[in-house]
Amino acid sequence: MKELHILLPIKQIRLHKLTMRLKEPFMTSFGTVQDKDFFITEAIDDKGNHGFGESVAFSSPWYTEETVQTSLHVMEDFLIPILMENEISHPDQVSELFYPVKRNNMAKAAVEGAIWDLYAKNNQISLSQALGGTKKEIDVGISIGIQPTVKDLIQKIERFLEEGYKRIKLKIKPGLDMEVLREVRKQFPFTPIMADANSAYTLKDIDHLQELDDLDLLMIEQPLAHDDIVDHATLQSALKTPICLDESINSMEDARKAIELGSCRIINIKIGRVGGLTEAKKIHDLCQRHGIQVWCGGMLEAGVGRAHNIALTTLPQFVLPGDTAGSSRYWEKDIIKPEVRVEDGVIHVPTGPGIGYDIDEQVMKDFTEWTRVYDF
């Protein structure tokens, strides 16, 4: 099957630098984001197909070490030149070619994503089909940042449940955790709820974290250090609540080791964090073989990144609702048309070629600071 699906020679890559403002600031244990700078990557082939990707690094390195600036440096000075020097016939080859560049996964994913979309468009299939996805609709949840008061939080949860979201994720940090979760659990006794600590705790907090076990949470996401899988194994053996790893899993090898050590029971797959769709698929397949549940995380993406997340989530082991909420949860206006819509807690997967959404040229232009062109 792979042999039939060819990728035409790439003629040009464009990097579009965008600035967009979230409707409201998003607060986590490590800081707040409201203005989002990022890149839309565009790959163009001989036939005039245009493939799009999106970079997910933030302006400062609080989630992982990458930033908007490091992404630009790595894409422009290393990754795009590698593509200029090599011919590829399938997008899976991109991550192999990028292998000599250590880490910088978000930069890699941004470039690889445009090539996956280009490949699907050239073959007149959806990105979901190109990846081997099967679902026609995907279940979605919502991630809520730290709120000024518990009352604000409860109101937000009520609103999102009315909109149909299938699970609620709350951001927690030391001092704003058990009390908040207890109050939320009291107000919503039957709602699927989880908490994300973004690596705010250490093993010294083990007794404190055991209080989570009374709250009937779906999981606790990344309680310990961003680069740890050893202490997480110790914590998981002391907790009934399943641990989900986010920051700690940057490759299939990381996932294999975490599964072997018992560091988690669930993995949050983010395309940017793991270096692209090919690696994301490998982690998915590994988890499927080991009975580890997966779901698709979010990076407050604009429409292109959101569309990639939707396509990935159509793979069968994405059994838990992800963080891919509708466009309107984040943006006054998204850069794709139609925007991503959530109805009764599901997104209907688009069936058109590639990502299945068109770029809204006017909106894109309004948010574009500059564009650089690389001719092959």
Of the two residues 29 and 278, which places its CB atom closer to ligand OSB in the complex?
Answer: 29
User: In this structure, are residues 148 and 375 in contact, taking their beta carbons and an 8 Å threshold?
Assistant: no
> Is residue 171 annotated as a catalytic residue, yes or no?
yes
CB of 298 to ligand OSB, least distance (A): 2
Dist. CA 46–CA 115, nearest whole Å: 13
275-304 residues in contact with ligand OSB (CB under 6 A) are 297-300
CB of 66 to ligand OSB, least distance (A): 12
Dist. CA 254–CA 263, nearest whole Å: 11
Of the two residues 15 and 300, which places its CB atom closer to ligand OSB in the complex?
Answer: 300
- 143 interface partner picked from ligand OSB, Mg ion, none, CB below 5 to 8 A per type: ligand OSB
- 345 interface partner picked from ligand OSB, Mg ion, none, CB below 5 to 8 A per type: none
Secondary structure, 3-state, 25-67: EEEECCEEEEEEEEEEEEEEECCCCEEEEECCCCCCCCCCCCC
User: In this structure, are residues 241 and 208 in contact, taking their beta carbons and an 8 Å threshold?
Assistant: no
Catalytic residue from among 36, 121, 166, 171: 171
Dist. CA 144–CA 47, nearest whole Å: 43
315-344 residues in contact with ligand OSB (CB under 6 A) are 323, 325
| Interface residue with Mg ion, options 66, 228, 246, 254 (CB under 5 A) | 246
CB of 32 to ligand OSB, least distance (A): 10
User: In this structure, are residues 312 and 54 in contact, taking their beta carbons and an 8 Å threshold?
Assistant: no
Tell whether residue 201 is a contact of ligand OSB (CB under 6 A): no
Tell whether residue 323 is a contact of Mg ion (CB under 5 A): no
222-251 residues in contact with ligand OSB (CB under 6 A) are 246
193-222 residues in contact with Mg ion (CB under 5 A) are 196, 221
Tell whether residue 198 is a contact of ligand OSB (CB under 6 A): yes
> Is residue 17 annotated as a catalytic residue, yes or no?
no
Q: Which amino acid is at 39?
A: F
Helix, strand, coil percent values for the chain (each to nearest 5)? 40, 25, 40
Closest CB to Mg ion belongs to which residue?
246
* CA neighbours closer than 13 Å in the CB half-sphere of residue 117: 31
The DSSP secondary-structure symbol of 300 reads S
CB of 246 to ligand OSB, least distance (A): 5
Binding region for Mg ion (CB under 5 A) = 196, 221, 246
Catalytic positions, please? 171, 270
